[in-house]
A and B are shown apart, each in its own frame.
Chain A
Amino acid sequence: MVETRCLRSTILVTAAASLFGCYPSTINDASETDTVVTRKAKDYDYSGNRTYDMPDTVADLCKADNLPEAGVGGEGPTRPNLDCNEITHTFDDQILKEISRNIEALGYTRVDHDAGEKPDVTLLVGALSSNNWVAYSYYPWDYYCYYYPYYCGWGIYYPYYPVTSVVNYPTGSLVMELVSLKDADNDEQRTPSIWTGTVSGLLSQGSETAASRINSSIDQAFAQSSYLKVGKP
């Protein structure tokens, strides 16, 4: 009887010890890392925006000189160590065309920047590739000053959603930032970000399916942001 009880106890303990930490469902393919995260501005009325413009290049958000001194909105205590990788510009034209197609499908009309027309919103597109975690909601849009000389020196702020979001970019991300020029804060010399779309995992080099993954992910970012549609309350 004693041996039987010892055997039972051994079975129970062994079984219990072997049970912890079983995760049969995991991410095990590069394409499964593709994620699309969009954030909208709280209580913001998008229906009044009708015109847009966007730069003709994809900014490298990971240039060390462009990084803010602190991690969160320039106000954090430390500067993040991104361990950046060089991004590829192979897909820049494809990315910009796909974004333009999507936003115009929502009813926006592109203005002629060279003719001096001022759009309601501008869509900034940047890319970032790094190996470390980064807590960012503030991106160094270095070409902002170059592309919009009037706003040179202005910052982008995030009045509609928290800037403390934790974001991770170990592989590569494409960031789309919709900035309202119509709602610029002239006193503070800053323009509000009213929408952010982040597509992660797209810029991994050597991926043969990168082109289709880029298009489908950009399409998904706008598909899940139907509130951007012109005239929609």
Chain B
Amino acid sequence: MIAVTRFASFTATLTATLALAAGTAFAQSGPPAAPGAGPAPTPSPVPAPQAAPAPPAPVAVEPQYAPYPGYPPPPPPGAVYYPTYAAGPAYEPPPPPPNRHHRQKRDLLMVAYNTAVGLGDTHDFAPDFSFLGFSFDWRARVTDNFWPGVSLAWQVLYSKGVHTLDYGNTTFTGTLATNLNVFPMLATGNYYFLTDPMSVRPYAGLGIGAYAAEHRIDAGIWTISDTSWHFGFAPELGAVLPTGRTPLVVSTKFNYGFASGRWDPLMYMNFNVGVEL
């Protein structure tokens, strides 16, 4: 009889132990408490199972808590909690401000020395290669590539030699000294294919406007002089060379002035070298 009673007591104790273990495992399946939310939660006490009827004497069973390795130890009372964040991207310092000299200007003035050779009727009038000419080009920046502006120039074409000329029934032979002073006054559009001021900047331009031309012929002891005005255009190709603070400019320009009144068309080619101010 005593053996049966001890067996029943042992069974009750084992059942209570398994129930506690099951409750602990169930608690593990729940979501973990947020870190820092406070002290680690205390598992809810599991009510003791109903003892078998008429046990001989109650057995006090202390719940056994197995330590859980996944939780840090609770901070001591009064500790300040500092959260940690994920590391961001590496710091890159901003680029230094660009040098003022490297930036595109708002406008520019090109002063150039011009040489020229006449073509067509202009060559017939003054065939020598001319070393007398200057030009002034002012250009304003609309975009880094497009620079419209104004071009004022002066070119002398000249020649001297013995010629025979026919005017109707009159024939003239003698030394002819011819001078042609041409003053182009053009509105221009210029496109720079490259815009880096520190590199070579090739450009193409087109000028349209008026040409004033003073024709003068010294023949023997006579002088004949007359001025004509022509509408004309001048396509241009050039390049700006990065030669320090004052860039060098080389260009070539074809000038054409349409026939005006009794005057033949003006036509000559410029070869220019200058500076960009």
Contacts and interface: CB of A to CB of B under 8 A. Distances in A.
Bind each other:
yes
Interface of A: 8, 11-12, 15-16, 19-27, 32-42, 160-161, 165, 168, 170-171, 200-201, 220, 224-225
Max chain A Cβ within 10 angstroms of own Cβ: one of B132, B160, B220: B220
A33 B158 contact: no
Contact of A25 (B154, B158, B173, B183): B158
B181 interface: yes
A212 to B, nearest CB: 15
B152 interface: yes
A42 B167 CA distance: 12
Contacts of B126: 25
A220 B169 contact: no
Given A11-B111, A38-B171, A200-B221, A23 B134 contact: no
A23 B179 contact: yes
A38 B170 contact: yes
Contacts, number: 104
Contacts of B71: none
A33 B160 contact: no
B169 A39 contact: yes
Contacts of B179: 22-25
B132 A24 contact: yes
A41 B168 CA distance: 10
A16 B170 contact: no
Max chain B Cβ within 10 angstroms of own Cβ: one of A8, A24, A38, A201: A24
Nearest to A38: B171
A179 B221 CA distance: 27
B173 A35 contact: yes
Interface size for chain B: under 10, 10 to 19, 20 to 34, or 35 or more residues? 20 to 34
B12 interface: no
Interface string B162-195: 0010000111111101110101000000000000
B173 A27 contact: no
Given A35-B172, A37-B171, A220-B173, A22 B218 contact: no
Contacts of A165: 170
A106 B220 CA distance: 28
B169 A40 contact: yes
Nearest to A171: B221
Contact of B172 (A12, A27, A36, A40): A36
Given A11-B111, A15-B134, A33-B175, A23 B221 contact: no
Given A8-B138, A24-B132, A224-B164, A19 B154 contact: yes
B132 A225 contact: no
Given A25-B160, A25-B178, 12 more contacts: A11-B109, A23-B177, A24-B158, A26-B177, A27-B160, A27-B219, A27-B220, A35-B221, A36-B174, A37-B170, A39-B169, A201-B220
